[in-house]
Amino acid sequence: MSQDLVVILTALNLEYQAVHRRLAGPQLHRHERGTRFEVGTVQGTSCRIALGLTNKGNQSAAVIAERAIQEFSPAAVLFVGVAGALWDSARLGDVVMATHVYAYHGGTSEDDGLKARPRAWEAPHDISQLASHLARMNDWADDVPGEGDAPQVRFGPIAAGEIVQNSKISAQAQWIRHHYNDALAIEMEAAGVAQAGHLSGAPVAIVRGISDRADGTKSSTTDRSWQPRAAANAAAFATRLAVELVRDQQQFATRPADGAGSTGQLPGHVTNTAHSSTVGIMAGSVKNSNVYFSADPKPSAPKDLVAELDGFREHLMRHLAEGALDEDTCREALVDLDSARRTAREDAPGSSKRTAMALKRLRGLIADHPLLADRLAPLVVAAGGSA
């Protein structure tokens, strides 16, 4: 994982330019399949941003997000742009940070109407906590004279579908507001990016500026004037969030190992300061009044990765046979497992990275199965990924 790099994706050129203006020294980065990114740093920081354009729609967003994750192994993926407000709680120009994303087009059509069968993805806890902290600090927005009240950050669900929603009275508009009445905003890409992050094991956050009310006024002059402002506000909050995410990653990476307490002792060195008492511990060695031990919280890496992957296949099939794993999930898991096994046998540049990415996708698929996830953790480490 690149601890100093965050991927930011947008659907529209207007949104892309809003982020691009905040970058210093952007350089073109071309993916082997032709997708173009620009990589620069947030002005005044060491945080690198890989900026890409997905175009409209969840499918396109999912493909480009997956491609960006494999190419950059980022600390996080942020999808940034504009959206329509479903309720009056979010003002024009405000920023909505998704607590979770609804793919609202999932459903079943029956004689008595259309029944909702949504998929949903929650925002990662650590990103949500950091975003809430930044919102409370309230120092992220650009100070633009004459722009009225400063934009606020709202936290709540975002609904993502496949159409431009621009009505309050159409049958679909009423259906959405009925079944997803807690959603603050509506757009067309968040579900695809969230799914790509889920399958790849990459944290994803959705940041949207409110540019319209999805109520029939979307093509008005007022709406067109709000789009640039909403995009700029979303870009301001997203880049600040990216900077803080990178800072958190770097601090965590350099944090002393467990066991280095406030007494200044080195990791793995414990001094008994108890008086007239008995202390019972398990340790590697004891010398005088000092105890030395070694504890590694990370799972140990297996010596033969290919053999371990073959063993993991047996556990997958056993879970399937016992009914603990459904057929669709097992089928997708086997695709990623075979991909990891194939690249693990290669002796070529980048093969270890491809193995790690395949295993991270597999980890996302089986995240709801703790026994399988625990067995997979050391294999991810062995492939060069993070547990």
H or E segment at 68? helix 58-72
221, part of any domain: yes
111, part of any domain: yes
Distance CA 309, CA 333 (A): 12
- Could you tell me whether strands 48-53 and 5-10 are parallel, antiparallel, or unpaired per DSSP bridges? parallel
Residues 215 and 315 in one domain: no
Residues 190 and 241 in one domain: yes
Residues 9 and 144 in one domain: yes
184, part of any domain: yes
Could you say which of 241, 269, 296 is where a domain stops?
A: 296
pLDDT at 268: 46
Asked whether residue 291 carries a pLDDT value surpassing 60, the answer given is no
Residues 81 and 192 in one domain: yes
Q: What is the pLDDT of residues 74-95, one digit of tens each?
A: 999 999 999 998 887 789 999 9
Residues 19 and 88 in one domain: yes
Phi and psi, residue 143, nearest 5°: -90, 100
Number of separate domains in the chain: 3
Query: CB–CB of 78/203 below 8 Å?
Result: no
CA distances in angstroms from 376 to 180, 310, 361, 385, listed in the order given = 36, 12, 11, 11
57, part of any domain: yes
Residues 226 and 351 in one domain: no
Distance CA 132, CA 136 (A): 6
278, part of any domain: yes
Distance CA 313, CA 10 (A): 38
Alpha helices, DSSP H, located in 150-220: 171-179, 190-200
36, part of any domain: yes
Greatest Cα pair distance in the chain: 81
Q: Give the whole-number percent of the chain exceeding pLDDT 70.
A: 83
Residues 265 and 316 in one domain: no
Residues 227 and 188 in one domain: yes
Residues 286 and 375 in one domain: no
More confident site: 63 or 105: 63
Asked whether residue 9 carries a pLDDT value surpassing 80, the answer given is yes
Residues 270 and 214 in one domain: no
Q: What is the pLDDT of residues 201-255, one digit of tens each?
A: 999 999 999 998 877 777 767 667 899 999 999 999 999 999 999 998 877 766 5
Nearest alpha carbon to residue 160 among 149, 176, 141, 144: 176
pLDDT at 351: 77
| CATH classification of the domain holding 79 | 3.40.50.1580
Residues 225 and 279 in one domain: no
pLDDT at 254: 61
> For residue 166, what are the contacts with CB-CB under 8 A and spacing of at least 6?
84, 212, 214, 215, 216, 217, 218, 219
Mean pLDDT of the chain: 83
Residue 266: domain span: 259-296
387, part of any domain: no
Residues 292 and 309 in one domain: no
